[in-house]
Structure 1
Amino acid sequence: MKCILGLIVMILFAQSHAKNVNQSYKDGEQFASTHQQYSVDLLTSLNVYDIPGYQANLPQEHYYGGVTQKHTRLESDAQSEMLTNTMGKEVVEGFSQRPSYRINPNSESMQKLDQIAEHGDAIMRGENTEKTTCTLKPQECQYTWQEKTCLSSKATGILHCAKHLRLEVVPYKAENYSLYLRHRGRKYSPYTISIDLNQMDTCTQGQSTCYTLYQGSQVASAIVFPEQCTSVKISITDNKGLVVVEKTVSCTDKTLSLKVGQCRFGRCNVPYTHTVSMTVESNQSQEYWDNQCQHLEQKTKEGFCHVSEPLSCVEPNQTRVINEVPFTRACWKERASYSCGGQGENTCDSTQLDRCEQSASVCVKETDGRCMTYQQTYQCPLNQCTENELICGQDAFCLEGDCSTHTYNPSDENEFKKAMSSLSAVADASKTFNGNANYLFQGQKMECSDLMLNVANCCRDEGWGIDLNLAHCSDEEKKLGTNRENKLAVPTGRYCYKRKKFPGGSVCVEHHQTFCVFQSKLARIVQEQGRRNQLGISFGYGQYSNCSGITPQQMQLIQFEHIDFSEFYQDIKGRMKEPDYQQTANGISERLKGFYSQGDING
């Protein structure tokens, strides 16, 4: 009975639960049906222009054709834009340009040079090193070489130039006058009179205190100051000492105030009429732009260069004092940059030329006397082996020491001179490199004095070694004289250092000669023939001499093969002492005999 009751309860519970599930399903179905249309209405009523940042009809929308689109023009358009866009072209040009010569550190010759530099002493003694073994029996290797050629173009160089605002104060006019003064007042008290340089005669107007300015025997004309007037000086010469200047004139104020009369010990001397001499000196400014960009501007017209950075002011809004007169200008210096060089083929692949040695370089394209494209020739080894000789150098000697006499045949001396000079220039440049200013072969401006009529000449060309009549010269002038005798200086001009004024004008009593002095003769040669003659960058003139160094970019544009180094290598040749090759050969032969009698080396 209990089991039946339990079964009935379970059936009733299951029916009740099923009814609740069905009701929940119907409620959910009704909710979904109600909100389906609400979602559709929401999407159709959406205004995309209310979305922040939305833009319609973009020019790039044609690149997207849907998820089924396989290809677009995006990649081809990007390639085309890279070749026509200014920045893209510069990137392509930068990657395609290569220097003419390249040292391969993996080549056989460079590996041998590293061994000689690291173990030179041991090799000369016939001792074994880590990578080189010296044995009594020489071992030979056969080499097969393949010649490869390719084209390379010089890299585009960036040259900088500047325009400097030059400003000088120079005398305009100095004129002498006679100043006539008249006073009808009391004679026991000095008086003050105002003189207007625009009005030269007031005595004809019936004034009790008046003046008249004469030039010669005539009443002077109104005094005119220069348009670029910088300063005016009035000088009064009075033998009796009765006139004192209380207020002088200026470029903008032509009114002069004088005090006339003198009192001493209670007694005054005030003349009824009095005449003094007066001198009026006026100075004016002269300014001009020193354009050091003319050479690059001409090269731009010829198509060899183009402006990479236009002129811009680098020294703006400054006040400078020149001859005790302050000048304020909106700009004192402008600077521009030019990209110069050639664009051509570059087919020299470094991966294909690995372990190759360059044997020749021939110019195949020239523009304006400057090579733009080179044909490079390389010798590439097909088979290599390690040499294992008794003498760990280039030449082997006979073991018994009874070989025929070795002779030395020097190569072309001119080629050696060129190579020696160019390598020396690179070595000298590394010593004088100014890392802060990024300059090579930096020079120094130096001056010497040359007094009028050659009374004391500290700019003489010779005699500094024996110091005759040079005691009055400064230490810097003596140092400059020595540098000139050693041919380290380049003259840049002459200017007036000191001027003597006198009534009616002035004369320069001391000139200064200016020079650019360099640390070595080699630096001077590269500066003169490379910077000035080839690149057209001048040394300036006089007090505005430009002794700056050469930038690495400018160094790349200098054609060292066109520089005359004869002056330099004549000095080197005079100091060279040719080695005794026969004595060296005999010494090595004697050492070989000793090694042979001992057996294996280091054994």
Structure 2
Amino acid sequence: MAAGVVLLLAGPVLADSNSDYRAGSDFAHQIQGQGTGSIQGFNPQESIPGYNANPDETKYYGGVTAGGDSGLKNDGTTQWATGETGKTITESFMNKPKDILSPDAPFIEKGRDVVNRADSIVGNTGEQCSAQDINRSEFTNYTCERDTTVEEYCTRTSTITGDWRETSEVRTYTLTAFSFSRSGKQIVFSVTVPEAGTISSASLNVTTQNYLWNSRAGFMNTTFNMTWSSTITLGGATGMMLSKGQVLSGTSCSGNGSCTGSLDDRIFNELTSGRTRLTLTLVMQVKDREWIPRVEWVESCPFNKVDGVLKDTECTEPGGTKTGVMEGKPWSITQSCWAYRDKYVTQSADNGTCQAYVDNPACTLAARQCAFYSDTGTCLHEYATYSCESKTAGEVMICGGDVFCLDGECDKAQSGKSNDFGEAVSQLAALAAAGKDVAALNGIDVRAFTGQAKFCKKAAAGYSNCCKDSGWGQDIGLAKCSSDEKALAKAKTNKLTVSVGEFCSKKVLGVCLEKKRSYCQFDSKLAQIVQQQGRNGQLHISFGSSKHPDCRGITVDELQQIKFDQLDFTNFYEDLMNNQKIPNSGVLTQKVKEQIADQLKQAGK
């Protein structure tokens, strides 16, 4: 009966519970975050007299992930039975007289009245109460990583060059620049050949104002006489092969070759004074060369084309006709395009560890950040942040201006889900894990959350990619991946890694045949979060180079600089909540209803 009466005490205060609830909720919001802020930098030795860092009670604490109570329950039971304090409490409880409650007490009568009017108060049957639905959307950010589409370009530029081609043509030369000299009584006349070639025909024109005394002449394999102005065909010259600059000489002598002397002197004066002129006409087959222009292409690629697939070609210098002059002869050449830019895809994008968020229509891409770059500055791998929406619905009962939340869901819809518990547990777990690492070392160079460098290979031709973040089991090329690489893939799926970079691990004759990617792998999500967001994100300490990853642990000094309240433990929340065996709200509500019903039945007896 006493138990039933105690339960009925809740009746009189039901009407005022809303204000008490609001006061408690407001107070909780005011002190939110003060706990973790207060313990940062706290030195217990300075504030707590007689502080002992390792009391006997530490044997009961096995760490955040420890199971069981380490004997705490057994020791407590023993102390209760044998200790003075336990004995005193037991005796007081056994000898304490029972409280006698009158069923006519005002507070009991008021409680019974509330029970009788329960449906009209909270059951939406009274005129003063109405139910109202409340909905709320909350957004949670999730970070994942994936390969990006890598587009690289080759350029092809043209240069005009050419080749000489041997040709021949018939040319006619008219030579008048004769020189004259004497050889005894003979007159010697000479002229220089302007071009090499073979003579097809030759003739000598003599122009004179005076009689030449039937001078006998010999020139270019031809003998003839000169009297008055005339043109002599040099039949003996046909077929002669001449070289450029060669001097052709002939002789003449008056009197049909008898050389009278004085007449030759007179003729010589006529020739040197220009009153008598000689003109040689040569028709020659002359060898020549013709410059034939052609286009040579020079390609420049900052990568190995074997790694990529040609996707597009763009003309960067429109085509047309170009002209020039070579050795006095013009040339021209026409092209449809004088320069190209070829686009290759050297890496295809995949969804990596982002697949679940890509498939979820409630998630949208909020931010992207490059994880590492290629040697040419192209982003190869990125971190993607997705914002995922979750909706919470609840029902409130409005009675006389007061709002009552019947099952707690409406409070979530009004105030939003609280991650205070998850954040607190995550931070404590991180600190506990760090403390465990530190305690295990007991050395000077103490570090926590140490990782290991891991590598996976990618064939340059793209056939086998053991660094895939997704699609394992679907690619034939993955059969060549080692067990370590498969284990690394699982660690990436479990969000235990940090991407460091990519480098060429095998090169032959300047061509990269195999690439490798490097990672830092950690033992837990907590270690990964503290390393990536704390060490790298807050303290800006690098994870080393792609060839030599630096996966060292975090020093005590660095741990003190990390702001744990600014770390995003969302990935750890999943594991935390998945390991909890908490009944759902429906089961809890039904159990409470059954207990209340049982108590009311007992109270009515």
Larger-Rg structure? 2
TM-score (norm 2): 0.31
TM-score, normalization: structure 1?
A: 0.31
